[in-house]
Amino acid sequence: MTKVVLPELGEGIEKATVSYWYFKEGEKVNEKDDLVELTTDKATFNLPSPSTGVLLEIFIHEGDAANVSEVLAVIE
Amino acid sequence: MEFRVFNLGLVDFKKAWEFQKQVFKKAKNNYLNAALILCRHHPVITFGRQARRENIKVTLSELEKRGIQFYEIERGGDVTYHGPGQLIAYPVFNLNYFKKDIHLFLRQLEESAINFLSAFAIKGDRRKGSTGVWIKRKKVASIGIAIRNWITFHGMSINIKKDDLDNFRLIRPCGMDIEMTSLETILGNNIEIEEINELFIGKFKKILLIPH
């Protein structure tokens, strides 16, 4: 199982909001696929999938905020 | 450090959007580290990821009647207007070669606009929590970017011409009830955008081109 974690985004940035999941739970994802789009301040950014597998569960849904280092989803 | 400047002149938003994606690919494939695309747009309203429909005060068909294009795009921020009276700067920066700090990049964009304004003896300010550049209580520069694989696109527009502010009344810029201003409004004289591009490029390079 691979955790999808919100990485460090820069000094003083503690949170980001999930704006879009490119995949639904249960769908197959490939490593490096765009997995989730997040926003902070006036910027959007993407997180690529850290591994190939099935997007098992999303913990942080669209419109919700996550802290840096928090697990957004898991891939199995 | 491979840095390129492209001046597209007056172009449709969509053409510049596609051009940004081409430059983005060059950055992704390491043909360049950073680029600055300058242009002006035919009237267009763009909707960022945080935009709410009620922040456009007229219908989409009304926009069409007025000859204003409309696009929903992947940048951060709410709704904004672009037109031929703005200096528009789209930096495509591979932040893997700079600082991987999203907010720092936004602050650097603001700084480049503030330094540009100071060349006209105008004091531009930041407002905490409201990204952009302000002159007293009015906004002069708007910012909204997208980052994919730590490469930036979209960017900043600076209002230059005083006769291109009216269309902002069709929206709540950035989702706020604010007034916009322009460089010409403050100075009270005529400015040709193509003649001040070089000045902006100089200020931009001084602030942004600092490798990590």
Number of helices followed by number of strands (H, E) in chain B: 5, 10
Q: Is B106 near chain A, with CB under 8 Å?
A: yes
pLDDT at position A73 over 90: yes
Chain A: give the shortest CA distance to residue B99, in Å: 8
Sign of the torsion formed by the C-alpha atoms of A27, A33, B91 and A6: positive
Of B50, B101, B103, the CB nearest to A39: B50
Q: Which of B77, B73, B56 is nearest to B144 (CA)?
A: B77
Question: What is the tens place of the pLDDT at every residue in B144-174?
Answer: 999 999 999 999 999 999 999 999 999 999 8
Residues B117 and B140 sit within 8 Å (Cβ to Cβ): yes
Q: Is A50 an interface residue toward B (CB < 8 Å)?
A: no
pLDDT tens readout for residues B59-101? 999 999 999 999 999 999 999 999 999 999 999 999 999 999 9
Dist CA B68 CA B104 (whole Å): 33
Q: Cβ–Cβ of B146/A43 closer than 8 Å?
A: yes
Question: Is B39 a residue of the active site?
Answer: no
* Cβ–Cβ gap A44/B105 under 8 Å: no
Interface contact B99, partner A, CB < 8 A = yes
Percent of chain B at pLDDT exceeding 90: 92
Q: Give the active site residue among B56, B117, B174, B208.
A: B174
Q: Which residues pair with A53 in a beta bridge?
A: A29
Q: Could you read off the pLDDT of B92-132 as tens digits, one per residue?
A: 999 999 999 999 999 999 999 999 999 999 999 999 889 99
Q: What are B138's two structure tokens?
A: 């009015």
Chain A residue closest in CA terms to B109 = A42
Quote the CA–CA distance of B188 and B191 in Å, as a whole number. Answer: 9
B63's enclosing H/E stretch is helix B60-65
Q: Dump pLDDT digits (tens) for A24-66.
A: 999 999 999 999 999 999 999 999 999 999 999 999 999 999 9
Q: Rg (Cα) of chain A, in Å, rounded?
A: 12
pTM of the model: 0.95
Closest CB to A10 among B50, B75, B102: B102
CA pair distance B200, B157, nearest whole angstrom: 12
* DSSP H stretches of helix in B119-192: 183-187
Calculate the CA B50 to chain-centre distance: 16
